[in-house]
Structure 1
Amino acid sequence: MQSIPVDTSRLGVLRCAVGPEPKLADFETKQVKKDRDGNTIYTVGVTVRQDGRRVSVIEIAVPGEPKGLTEGTEVRVTGMEAFAWAMGDRHGISFRASTITPVPTAGSAGKGGGA
């Protein structure tokens, strides 16, 4: 399966629509999907708004649980790739990224403490 790099700077504002959830490898046994390094794969629903009012929601898989993502949070997606897939008569595009992090807001910039 060939990966296609995605230029996220062309996707407009990205926001968390659905917080991180572990991706299931098997729906019947509820077995969680892991990457080659043993990290749990999480899925995050992200809204993409390019021009005008049209908004799309895409699901992006990411290794390890992203922290600080809540519904409506603006996010930064790093290392995003798209994959075309087909299974029988079903087909689509899947997305994965190396990280998904919240974008710091003006009010949080420069605050000390942190996690």
Structure 2
Amino acid sequence: MQSIPVDGTRLGAMTCIVAPEVRIANRETGEIRKDREGQTVYTVGVAVRQDGRRASIIEISVSGEPVGVVEGVRVHVTGLTAFSWAMGDRHGLSFRADAITPVPVAVPAPAASRKGGDA
């Protein structure tokens, strides 16, 4: 499997469209996938929109639960890597990240209160 580092700054807006779900290693036994350090691996569905209206949907695996990441929230993806894979006549890309975090929402400053009644 070949790993390909991805420059996340060139991907444009990223939005969580499927909340983090525990990744299952074996569907028959229900075994949960763990990384080398023993952390649970989660999968997050992310919509990536570059210039214009075109969007792609990718599933990104990440170790540990991405706190604060829910459907509809813009996210920041750190350390994104793509992996090419092939099984028989099937092939594709899978994605893994070091972290997925919600983008902080800017809170507008409160308007200055008016003094002296109506103007």
After superposition, where does 1:36-47 map in structure 2 within 5 Å?
36-47=36-47
After superposition, where does 1:101-112 map in structure 2 within 5 Å?
101-107=101-107
- Measure, in 1, the Cα distance between the counterparts of 2:90 and 2:61: 19
Give the paired residue count. Answer: 108
Cα distance, 1:70 vs structure 2: 1.1
Match of 2:66 in 1: 66
Match of 1:23 in 2: 23
Match of 2:80 in 1: 80
Cα distance, 1:90 vs structure 2: 1.0
Where structure 2 has 5 or more consecutive residues not aligned to the other structure, the ranges are 109-119
Match of 2:96 in 1: 96
SS in 2 for 1:44: strand
Match of 1:113 in 2: none
Counterpart residue identity of residue 34, structure 1: K
The percent identity for this pair of structures is 64
Cα distance, 1:55 vs structure 2: 1.1
Match of 1:111 in 2: none
Question: Is the Cα contact below 8 Å between 2:2 and 2:85 reproduced in 1?
Answer: no
Larger radius of gyration: 2
1:54-106: CA deviations, max 9, x gaps? Answer: 11110000000000011110000000000000011111000000000000010
| TM-score (norm: length of structure 1) | 0.91
Where structure 1 has 5 or more consecutive residues not aligned to the other structure, the ranges are 109-115
Structure 1 stretches of at least 4 aligned residues deviating more than 4 Å after TM superposition: none
CA RMSD of aligned residues (A): 1.1
